[in-house]
Structure 1
Amino acid sequence: MSVPPEQPAPSYEQLAELVTALSAEVAALRAENAELRRRLGMDSTNSSTPPSQDSLAAKGKRRAQRSQRVRSKDRKPGGQ
């Protein structure tokens, strides 16, 4: 098994170029991550999708919000 020859240390310019490229890649990945998180948080209440397309978590959240509504004690239930 042969040992590969050692490569010389990269120059300052090469390292600076690498840092610049990696910084740009990190910025792009952060933007993509933010967009995916925004889309993941969408459900039928804040997008144009129908309620039937909601995930189980979104449906459960909607049910919990509905059950927290408090009726006014001033009015009696019923018709007109």
Structure 2
Amino acid sequence: MNKATKIAITIIAAIIVIGGCIYSGRVEYNDAVLSGMSADKYDYIHSCLGGSATQNDVVKEYIANQKYYDSKFN
């Protein structure tokens, strides 16, 4: 391998590692938000967003309107 190939492989590996860290951080954040949310809140938000909503969609909606959902389900 020449020097350019080694540098390219190192850059690609670094990008993959950084991407993995960002992805795992997002998953951890979603899990933390969802674990603090009651099942009633989750079900209500999920049904309002539609049956194909992902957990990430539910977290985004909840965070955007957290005061509303917290007051509705207290």
TM-score (norm 2): 0.47
Structure with larger RCO (C-alpha < 8 A, sep 6+): 2
TM-score (norm 1): 0.44
Higher normalized helix content (fraction of residues): 2
